[in-house]
Amino acid sequence: MDSMPSIIVTLNKAVIRQLQLPQGDLSIGRRPTHALVLEDAAVSADHASIFTVGQDSFLKDLDSTNGTYINKRRMRKHHLKPGDEITIGKYTLLYQDQDQDLVPATPQPATFGDAALFVLTGFNSGKRIELTSTVTHLGMAGQSAAFLSRTGDRYTLMVGTDGTHVSHNGKAVAAGGQLLASGDIIEVGDTRLQFYQP
């Protein structure tokens, strides 16, 4: 079976998302309704789209203000080839025709001083969550499935009160919480996350 084309989204050389391209249209822009939302003032509300049919993907600029660049050249339309770098605002999208070539989910960003969580599976798969607050809640909005407590540069995973299954590296979390190390896997319900700390 043929593997599906995919893109890796990077910002300041740090991987923030990786996704398979669906058949049909993938919309890109600053508007939150897009399939790929890029939060940057240089990105238009409706910036570009990638249309995929079979193993072929075609990029189209949607008359954006600042343009879409393929390998540093501004283009309105382009038939994507493996290794093409799409630049939209501050973001770089690397196009690949095989999903098994995806880079590991734990990048080594030099530009972020804070720890982060990478969503490996679930609704927000591929998303990066910056851990800049003293307490970061995990789970559905309005519910407390689990939370991370920050003390200095140490992060502790605590189980919340809503009864959702929470585990740390495949094991139950101790009553007093679990101190996290970079690379640890956290499961909250059917969502898997990886903790990263530079």
Q: What is the pLDDT of residues 75-96, one digit of tens each?
A: 999 999 988 999 999 999 999 8
Burial class of residue 50 in the structure, from the number of CB atoms within 10 Å of its CB (0-12 exposed, 13-18 middle, 19+ buried): buried
Q: How far apart are CA 179 and CA 176, in angstroms?
A: 10
Strands 73-74 and 77-79: unpaired
Greater model confidence, 127 or 101? 127
Q: What is the pLDDT of residues 7-48, one digit of tens each?
A: 989 988 788 888 888 888 999 999 988 989 998 899 999 999
Residue 99's SS3 state is helix
